[in-house]
Amino acid sequence: MPEGHTTHALAERLDRAFSGTVVSVSSPQGRFADGAALLDALVLVGASAWGKHLFVQFEGERWLNVHLGLIGKFSVMRHFVAPGPGAGSDTPPQTPGMPNGRVPVEGQVRLRLLNHTWVGDLRGPTVCAVVTPEKVDEIQARLGPDPLRPDADPDLALRRIMRSTKPIAELLMDQTVLAGVGNVYRCEVLFRHRVDPFRPGREIRPATWRAIWDDLTRLMPLGVAFGQILTMDDQVADALAEVADGSAAAHTEAVTGARLGDRFERRFYLYQRTGEPCRTCGSTVRTQLIAGRNLFWCGRCQRRR
Ligand SMILES: [Zn+2]
């Protein structure tokens, strides 16, 4: 299930692969044929993310809006490897409008972006639409602050939390309160701060919210860098060190959207550990459906406001 770090990593990959180039846009599956025709052979200006929404700008003020939903995948891979030194020019020829036939299509590809070096294939999204700049503003206005965006205002989320009687675990998943956090980050961050997931929003202390927000702004960039959610202190410390010394870059490069990150062992404090002992206190990890997804929590550790 893609959370905000997936969308941001995708925007960065699309930027590296396609920005400033003429892109051939098609819908091999056919379901997005009309939309693809509106974008085909235009220069891709840039890509960005807000929460789980991806926005790709093309010349002429045309925007592509994508939401991966629960099962969507957007892979971005090289299909052309430039010849090495001594093998002639290392700049591949620019061939706008290259026919799709050159790169084989696998499965149900709703949208394909293609330039001389890269191919981006989108499969199974809940949203894939060509939209106006006004529509982009409208979508973004509905979304809460995103911890991965430098312009984000955590107080906006706090005001919405303080007005609500809904449990904090439900509010963290509400994209109009906070954009980008999904089920794994919500469970893990509430545990990291020992917050009772059933505490109503209006009873959450502002200092607690600030600590959660600051933690998300530290954890989520690691998700972007490594293509996997990291929340356990030992892994977070290792990941931060690898970002600082530059060795994280190779892992960022290896993540394609089809292939997820595997630098770190997949483990969490609570997520999907129902019935197992809490790693901190030994009490049994519990689960309950909340906001449509299984919440995992420790009833002994998580009592704070
Ligand atoms: Zn515990």
Q: What is the pLDDT of residues 56-83, one digit of tens each?
A: 999 999 999 999 998 999 999 999 765 5
For the cut 90, the answer to whether the pLDDT of residue 93 exceeds it is no
Q: Decide if 2 is catalytic.
A: yes
CA of 234 to the centre of ligand 1 (A): 17
| Domain covering 145-297: architecture | Orthogonal Bundle (1.10)
For the cut 50, the answer to whether the pLDDT of residue 94 exceeds it is no
Does the reported pTM lie above 0.75? yes
Q: Amino acid identity of 63? A: W
CA of 279 to the centre of ligand 1 (A): 7
CA of 285 to the centre of ligand 1 (A): 7
For the cut 90, the answer to whether the pLDDT of residue 20 exceeds it is yes
pLDDT tens-digit series, residues 204-242: 999 999 999 999 999 999 999 999 999 999 999 999 999
For the cut 80, the answer to whether the pLDDT of residue 87 exceeds it is no
Which residue reads 């483990």 in tokens?
267
CA of 101 to the centre of ligand 1 (A): 55
pLDDT for the residue numbered 82: 57
Single out the catalytic residue among 31, 62, 166, 293: 293
On whether the CB atoms of residues 4 and 52 are closer than 8 A, the answer is yes
Q: Which two tokens stand for residue 172?
A: 């963290």
For the cut 60, the answer to whether the pLDDT of residue 285 exceeds it is yes
Q: Which of 108-117, 183-192, 255-264, 280-289 has the lowest mean pLDDT?
A: 255-264
Three-state secondary-structure class, residue 192: helix
pLDDT for the residue numbered 304: 81
- Start-end of CATH 1.10.8.50 domains in the chain: 145-297
For the cut 80, the answer to whether the pLDDT of residue 144 exceeds it is yes
pLDDT for the residue numbered 81: 62
pLDDT tens-digit series, residues 128-137: 999 999 999 9
Q: Which CATH class is domain 4-141?
A: alpha beta
Single out the catalytic residue among 2, 147, 167, 221: 2
pLDDT tens-digit series, residues 164-179: 999 999 999 999 999 9
Single out the catalytic residue among 52, 186, 192, 199: 52
Q: What is the rounded average pLDDT of the residues 172-200?
A: 97
Indicate the length of the chain as a whole number.
305
- Start-end of CATH 3.20.190.10 domains in the chain: 4-141
CB 99: neighbour CB atoms within 10 A?
10
CA of 192 to the centre of ligand 1 (A): 10
CA of 199 to the centre of ligand 1 (A): 17
Q: How confident is the model at residue 85 (pLDDT cuts 50, 70, 90)?
A: low
Q: Decide if 203 is catalytic.
A: no
Q: Which two tokens stand for residue 5?
A: 């770090």
Q: Decide if 293 is catalytic.
A: yes
CA distances from 35 to 38, 96, 127 (A): 5, 18, 12
Q: Decide if 277 is catalytic.
A: no
Mean pLDDT of the chain: 93
Q: Which of 39-53, 252-266, 286-300 has the lowest mean pLDDT?
A: 252-266
pLDDT for the residue numbered 305: 76
CA of 168 to the centre of ligand 1 (A): 18
pLDDT for the residue numbered 83: 57
CA of 283 to the centre of ligand 1 (A): 5
Q: Which of 46-50, 83-87, 202-206 has the lowest mean pLDDT?
A: 83-87
